[in-house]
Chain A
Amino acid sequence: MRPDYIWRVASRDLLSTLRDRRTLTSTILIPLLLIPLFTLGLPLLLGKFIGGQAQERQQVGVVGTLPESLRAALTRDEKTPDGTVTRAGVRLVPVTDPKAAVQSGDVDAALRAPSPLPRRAGDGTGTLEVYAKLGNLRAQTGAFAKVQSTVEAYNRELAVQRLGTLGLGAQTLTPVTLAPIDASPEQERRSGQLAFLIPLLMLNFILTGAMATALDATAGEKERGTLESLLVSPVRRSEVVAGKLLATTVTALTTALFSVLGFLLSGVVMRAVLARGDTPAELTQAFGGQLTLTPGSALALLGTVVSAALLISAVLIALSIYARSYKEAQTYVTPLSLLIVFPAVMLQFSDFLTLSSGIYALPLFGSMVAILDTVRGNLSTGHALTAIAANLIGALLVGLLALRSFGREEVIFRN
């Protein structure tokens, strides 16, 4: 194969891609905007939502009467020394049918005590039924959470009072204090619990970026009648396939690059947001918002991503050359995203799986595990090389299949 011919074929396809606004949007703008939106926007939105629930004064229905001190605790606002309300109390309203009141939306939660509740420690025990839409995040983080924490505080207060009469302190209730210490490496901690989504996002962006060029350079060329002119020129079929593979991979990698830039951009904005202090650090961390990469892990990520881009590009070209038109090619390649989504979803259970080294030898899935390991800072060189080699071998085999298709009359003239 002659590199200058390969480059001539590739540059033609790349120039065409560069002038397509839709492709530029999916290649550059979407990863650049979507990743910060995911790693920053979502935590900010959730933070605002949860914060908003704390500030909101929810309506809670009551059947019968509650002990006066419990009523006072439920309706009391929590304030900072300067008077700012950090958590608003609830508004108690009488209801007759607690379940119906919650279902109709008249109240956010409703309370019913089948028997009188203890007013002092030693008065016995009682049950307080709390009616709420427990599958609803708003109820969970709002009225229900406030009732739950208030009742826990009430219980503790009664117990401490009783202990006081016996001459014992509050610490009697907790002879052993649990002190959890996160022993996971710094990198793993920073990657967040939702780090498994990073391989999904990266490979999906590679697929999206590669798709437009691959389809245009194969089925699109057939449809326009430009492929035949290329095939009667002195370029060899292998050079045509290699050129198209190069163009597709470059576009795919450009998308991947912009998705990495999206992460970097998130990091910069994250520092500014955390400095303001109005978003919980744990929340942003959960979404990978504090992710950082060492030079070694960046290199491993690059190798994995490049090899995955090559494999995805080869698959796209091999599939779409069969299509009669761009539209038909789209129907062939669209299900490919499921090949990325399903294994990526499996990754969230990776903590429960004993991952053998063999898993890294699975093309694409091995890359996903390797990317996840990279962001968690525990990728071994052997696993990285295995994942890269698996992708390269896969790309070579699929590339040969594509080459065979380019040489078959029934494929080239299938229209």
Chain B
Amino acid sequence: MLELRNLSKTYGKHAALRDVTLGAPEGEVFGLLGPNGAGKTTLLRIIATLLQPSAGTAVLAGHDVGREPEAVRRAIGVVNGGMGLPARLTGREVLRSFAGLYGLTRTQADARIAELDAALDLGRTLDTRAGEYSTGMKQKVVIARAVIHDPQVLILDEAASGLDIFARRTLLDFVAAARQPGKLTLYSTHVMSEAEEVCDRVAILHEGALVTVGTIPEILAQTGERNLERAFFALVRGEGVRHAS
């Protein structure tokens, strides 16, 4: 479903991403882990067609990200922690507007909104203007907007940041439920416990380079640590690092 080959991105002399090669099949939640500045957001923005790679290729759902950006954008839904909503529009208006951009009719859009209402417990949020939302309410509508067209690939970049415990739980349950055949969820976070809960496999990035990739038990076995956070520190300190290729 996702194939990255020798992907690099530089800003002047700064290398934000260095020669990353990895793949993620359908039907799983794939985690991208690393501290702030590791290159996770840059990688996901390249996949989402927002940034052009300096080198390498990315193929998503059978479409080359550089050559077929429109087809890629039809296949993805994106949520990041910094995404907001137009303050003067209600949740329903936002969702209908985006449904239209993906070619859904008004009836199809309303049916899909009802599904998402049940899945994300949108409730009164739908008919309240976004300017009055709490962080949790906002993030639920942002997620609903990203999946209004039932995308093949869902990209979540630090999507749980700033959420309270209830909103975070709703998000993690939603991600777990998104693990379906024919679909891929890319879940980027710097919170290792979130990755342990929802990800099938993870890639650890550090300073723009891929440190390792594997299932969580594989990474724990590789480092001899008892949790992902300790394993991460062991890997980035060079202890037991097995650079992925």
Contact partner of A233 among B52, B73, B80, B89, CB < 8 A? B73
Contact between chains at A409 and B50 (CB < 8 Å): yes
Quick check: is A135 within 8 A (CB to CB) of the other chain?
Answer: no
Contact between chains at A233 and B49 (CB < 8 Å): no
Nearest chain A residue, comparing its CB with the CB of B82: A225
Contact between chains at B51 and A409 (CB < 8 Å): yes
Q: A224-B85, A225-B82 are in contact. Are A233 and B98 (CB under 8 A)?
A: yes
Contact between chains at B102 and A231 (CB < 8 Å): no
Quick check: is A229 within 8 A (CB to CB) of the other chain?
Answer: yes
Q: A12-B86, A15-B88, A15-B89 are in contact. Are A232 and B101 (CB under 8 A)?
A: no
Contact between chains at A8 and B101 (CB < 8 Å): yes
* CA distance in complex: A228, B76 (Å): 13
18 residue pairs from A and B, CB less than 8 Å apart? A12-B89, A15-B88, A15-B93, A19-B88, A224-B84, A225-B80, A226-B83, A226-B85, A229-B78, A229-B83, A232-B49, A232-B73, A233-B101, A234-B73, A234-B101, A236-B70, A413-B45, A413-B51
Contact between chains at B84 and A8 (CB < 8 Å): no
Contact partner of A225 among B48, B73, B84, CB < 8 A? B84
Contact between chains at B87 and A232 (CB < 8 Å): no
* CA distance in complex: A12, B50 (Å): 21
Quick check: is A241 within 8 A (CB to CB) of the other chain?
Answer: no
Residues of chain A with a CB closer than 8 A to B87's CB: 16, 224
Residues of chain B with a CB closer than 8 A to A229's CB: 78, 83, 98, 142, 145-146
Quick check: is A235 within 8 A (CB to CB) of the other chain?
Answer: yes
Chain A interface size range: 20 to 34
A157 to chain B, nearest CB (A): 74
Q: Enumerate the 3 nearest inter-chain pairs by beta-carbon distance, A residue then B residue, closest first.
A: A224-B84, A225-B84, A19-B88
Known: A228-B78, A412-B50. 11 other contacts (CB 8 A): A15-B88, A16-B89, A19-B88, A225-B83, A225-B84, A232-B48, A232-B78, A233-B102, A409-B50, A413-B45, A413-B51
Quick check: is B100 within 8 A (CB to CB) of the other chain?
Answer: yes
Residues on A lying within 8 angstroms of B by beta carbon are 5, 8, 11-12, 15-16, 19-20, 224-226, 228-229, 231-236, 409, 412-413
**Most B Cβ at <10 Å: residue of A224, A233, A235:** A233
Contact flags (1/0) for B81-123 with A, using CB distance below 8 Å?
0111111110001000110111100000000000000000000
Quick check: is B5 within 8 A (CB to CB) of the other chain?
Answer: no
Contact between chains at B85 and A234 (CB < 8 Å): no
Residues on B lying within 8 angstroms of A by beta carbon are 45, 48-52, 70, 73-74, 76, 78, 80, 82-89, 93, 97-98, 100-103, 129, 142, 145-146
B221 to chain A, nearest CB (A): 37
* CA distance in complex: A232, B97 (Å): 14
Report whether over half of chain A's contact residues are helix, strand or loop; otherwise say mixed.
Answer: helix
Nearest chain A residue, comparing its CB with the CB of B102: A234
B161 to chain A, nearest CB (A): 12
Residues of chain B with a CB closer than 8 A to A412's CB: 50
Nearest chain A residue, comparing its CB with the CB of B41: A413
* CA distance in complex: A232, B45 (Å): 9
Residues of chain A with a CB closer than 8 A to B88's CB: 15-16, 19-20
A15 to chain B, nearest CB (A): 6
* CA distance in complex: A229, B76 (Å): 11
* CA distance in complex: A226, B76 (Å): 16
Residues of chain A with a CB closer than 8 A to B100's CB: 8
Residues of chain A with a CB closer than 8 A to B74's CB: 234
B82 to chain A, nearest CB (A): 5
Contact between chains at B97 and A8 (CB < 8 Å): yes
Nearest chain B residue, comparing its CB with the CB of A223: B84
A3 to chain B, nearest CB (A): 13
Contact between chains at B70 and A234 (CB < 8 Å): yes
Contact between chains at B84 and A226 (CB < 8 Å): yes
Residues of chain A with a CB closer than 8 A to B97's CB: 8, 11-12
Residues of chain B with a CB closer than 8 A to A12's CB: 86, 89, 97
* CA distance in complex: A225, B82 (Å): 6
* CA distance in complex: A16, B45 (Å): 27
Nearest chain B residue, comparing its CB with the CB of A415: B82
* CA distance in complex: A235, B100 (Å): 11
Q: A16-B86, A225-B83, A234-B73 are in contact. Are A5 and B101 (CB under 8 A)?
A: yes
* CA distance in complex: A236, B69 (Å): 9
Contact between chains at A235 and B76 (CB < 8 Å): no
Residues of chain B with a CB closer than 8 A to A11's CB: 97
* CA distance in complex: A232, B142 (Å): 13
Residues of chain B with a CB closer than 8 A to A16's CB: 86-89
Residues of chain B with a CB closer than 8 A to A234's CB: 70, 73-74, 101-103
**Most B Cβ at <10 Å: residue of A5, A224, A412:** A224
* CA distance in complex: A236, B70 (Å): 8
